[in-house]
Chains A and B, each alone.
Chain A
Amino acid sequence: NAGVTQTPKFQVLKTGQSMTLQCAQDMNHNSMYWYRQDPGMGLRLIYYSASEGTTDKGEVPNGYNVSRLNKREFSLRLESAAPSQTSVYFCASSDPDRGQGGELFFGEGSRLTVL
């Protein structure tokens, strides 16, 4: 049971380059999320998808786009990377209809450096 799988785990980009972070979950969860983690700032929500076919902005959406390709997959795209986007990115999924408000299940993270 893989849970939440993110690729790539590490990436170095030059300013202005584009890239897509991929995320897939095999738990049949309705909701998926992208967070970024920066030192001293905790996790901040970039975008989320409450269900297949819907996406909404989180706290820090500028510079990012997302696609909920199907129920399993939720990708995050940086069209023109900036050094301020150097961070660790986490994908997560949940099913809010389950008990305890729907626990978030996280991937292992993707460490992105923009030079």
Chain B
Amino acid sequence: GEDVEQSLFLSVREGDSSVINCTYTDSSSTYLYWYKQEPGAGLQLLTYIFSNMDMKQDQRLTVLLNKKDKHLSLRIADTQTGDSAIYFCAGGGPGGGNKLTFGTGTQLKVEL
């Protein structure tokens, strides 16, 4: 099966940019996703990128995909305290459908 790895923690100051990184092993994923989990809640889709794209921008969010290195990143511009959460990258496994494989999650802490 696919392995998806992320660093566990990231701390930034309010107003700075945050960059959360993810590496994966399976290059057959059609879509790659970023989900956000706030304390005590389920995961919510933040954004996604189709595997034939290199970059996607969505307001403060920029997703970069390096297929050669199997590296996915999420950049959050002008990080706010409300961005404090756990961020998961996920990719679709072989066989299609939505059997997503999730990374370990990165806990983002935004300090004043």
List the interface of chain A (C-beta within 8 A of B): 4, 31, 33, 35, 40-45, 48, 50, 58-59, 90, 92, 94, 96, 100-104, 106-109
Contact = CB atoms under 8 A, between A and B. Distances in A.
B31 to A, nearest CB: 4
B98 A104 contact: yes
A107 B104 CA distance: 19
A43 B35 CA distance: 11
Contacts of A31: 97-98
B99 A58 contact: yes
16 contacts: A31-B97, A40-B8, A41-B104, A42-B4, A42-B6, A42-B102, A42-B104, A43-B43, A45-B100, A45-B101, A96-B96, A96-B98, A101-B98, A102-B97, A103-B45, A104-B35
Nearest to B89: A42
B40 A108 contact: yes
B112 interface: no
User: Which 8 pairs between the two chains have the least Cβ-Cβ distance?
Assistant: A106-B42, A101-B31, A43-B102, A42-B104, A42-B102, A94-B98, A106-B43, A103-B45
Contacts, number: 63
A50 B95 CA distance: 12
Contacts of B50: 100
B47 to A, nearest CB: 10
Nearest to A43: B102
Contact of B98 (A4, A40, A90, A102): A102
B4 to A, nearest CB: 7
